Chain A
């Protein structure tokens, strides 16, 4: 019985890690440009397919992770420059529609290049090793996913709170106009938010593929939507909130499936979105979000 609960806990942490990594990007991007980037989940797909390519050419895994981070960052920065920057002063709805359009484009390019057939995505065999954890054993894959997530989040915290660029990003997120008055080049801070957020999403895609074993060009959208839910639960705009929301959502989803009779398992997505509605009814700004006044 203990084995069962430890396993569920680890499953929740693993799923939560993936949601959190993607949710961070939603929050960072929203925090600076007040844009919900619906193409963000598709960056995870880009990361996963890049991984397949790198594995095919025999790149070692540590190198693969670094390259996937870079590919994600590049994809995010490119999307911002090509699709979102030209309409930065347009009404919010226009930007919102643009992100949906970019998402559709990325998915369809994916289908054209890789076809819509799901592909197997395998981590090396060693990742299936069972590792003892207290009274139970868990798979190495799950430990690595949680571990990589913690490392990446720590790096992000250092960048955001200990560097000049991070300070400029926080200032821009809080007050874009005054940030400009202080000489901050907001194009650079916006690029940084897209780059960092998308790098994390791409690695989340890599780990998603390894954890669930299959990927297709559309797989990023639904996890992306759930990560968006996670960032809203935590308080969109807050990085800490995105992490909290990601883990809460991952845990809730796993507990729902694990504790209720199996015939309810198909309703897990319904649960996610019901949770969102309930939390927003009680806490319109999410758990850690502060009221955001709209900038004129």
Chain B
């Protein structure tokens, strides 16, 4: 569904991604793990169009078409069903909970079905229905994460890019969020998951990539990565 080929991306003068290639197939959960500064967020931002690659290709295969994403603006990429849920939640704090969700649906050409999707998000996260008129900035961190995920769902993603959904959340809240991610995937949403919490990410994912200093150091089925001595040592906090 998504294919990155020999991608080089700069942030200002810094060469962040140094030739990464990876694929995400339809229906998969793919985990992208690695240390801070390895280039995980940069990868997602390149896919969603916030950053432009210096060289390399980002291709979306969708309904038999091949679309070069690197040439598109972020607002066009959302319309293709590639939705980026950014790191640190980044809900619109001064807008109400409901407005945040409606902003999620902003890009949809089809205005029908929005009410039904809103109801689905409310079913998934009942607290968002309860707090619908509240300012998003007044929610707790966990509630803001639910809102960020709910907002992304309102865009009807076919490929969901999730950046650090567990960041700064209580363990119980992380469980809730990961359960939702699993359900979404079962319902047919393809997911590219960036996580510091490598163990949880790999337990959920089908496959994984390990990013080190802007290159793919390792890749394979999630179980194989979980069992890999090097990964255990470097990312799972298990002495080898």
Residues of A bordering B, CB below 8 Å = 164, 167-168, 170-171, 174-175, 177-186
Contacts and interface: CB of A to CB of B under 8 A. Distances in A.
Contacts of A180: 49-50, 73-75
A183 B92 contact: no
Contact of B106 (A164, A170, A175, A177): A164
B103 A171 contact: yes
A181 B74 contact: yes
Interface string B106-122: 11100000000000000
B84 A167 contact: no
B198 interface: no
Contacts of A179: 103
Contacts of B95: 167, 170-171, 174
Contact of B90 (A164, A167, A175): A175
A177 B103 CA distance: 13
Contacts of B79: 183
B176 interface: no
Helix, strand, loop or mixed for chain B's interface?
A: loop
Helix, strand, loop or mixed for chain A's interface?
A: helix
A180 B76 CA distance: 9
A74 to B, nearest CB: 25
Contact of A178 (B92, B94, B107): B92
B93 A167 contact: no
Given A181-B86, A182-B155, A183-B106, A175 B92 contact: yes
A164 B95 CA distance: 12
B113 to A, nearest CB: 16
A182 B94 contact: no
Given A164-B102, A168-B103, A183-B74, 15 more contacts: A167-B95, A167-B102, A167-B103, A168-B106, A171-B95, A174-B92, A174-B93, A180-B50, A181-B78, A182-B78, A182-B151, A182-B155, A183-B78, A183-B108, A183-B155
A182 B50 contact: no
Contacts of B99: 167, 170-171
A171 B49 CA distance: 19
Nearest to B90: A178
B46 interface: no
Contacts of A170: 92, 94-95, 99
A182 B107 contact: yes
A183 B102 contact: no
Nearest to A177: B50
B104 interface: yes
A240 to B, nearest CB: 12
Contacts of A177: 50, 86
A156 B63 CA distance: 43
B106 A184 contact: yes
Contacts of A178: 86, 90, 92
B48 interface: yes
A184 B99 CA distance: 14
Contacts of B49: 180
A175 B108 CA distance: 20
A168 B50 CA distance: 18
A183 B90 contact: no
Given A180-B74, A182-B107, A183-B155, A171 B92 contact: yes
Interface in B60-108: 73-75, 78-79, 83-84, 86, 90, 92-95, 99, 102-104, 106-108
A163 to B, nearest CB: 12
22 contacts: A167-B95, A167-B99, A170-B92, A171-B95, A174-B92, A174-B93, A175-B92, A177-B86, A178-B86, A178-B92, A179-B103, A180-B49, A180-B50, A181-B74, A181-B78, A181-B86, A182-B106, A182-B107, A183-B75, A183-B107, A183-B108, A186-B75
Contacts of B108: 183
A158 B74 CA distance: 28
Contact of A181 (B84, B93, B94): B84
A183 B82 CA distance: 10
A181 B48 CA distance: 7
A182 B90 contact: no
A8 to B, nearest CB: 36
B138 to A, nearest CB: 14
Contacts of A168: 103, 106
A171 B90 CA distance: 11
Contacts of B151: 182
B93 A182 contact: no
Given A174-B94, A175-B90, A182 B103 contact: yes
Contacts of B48: 181
A292 to B, nearest CB: 12
A180 B99 CA distance: 16
Contacts of A184: 75, 103, 106-107
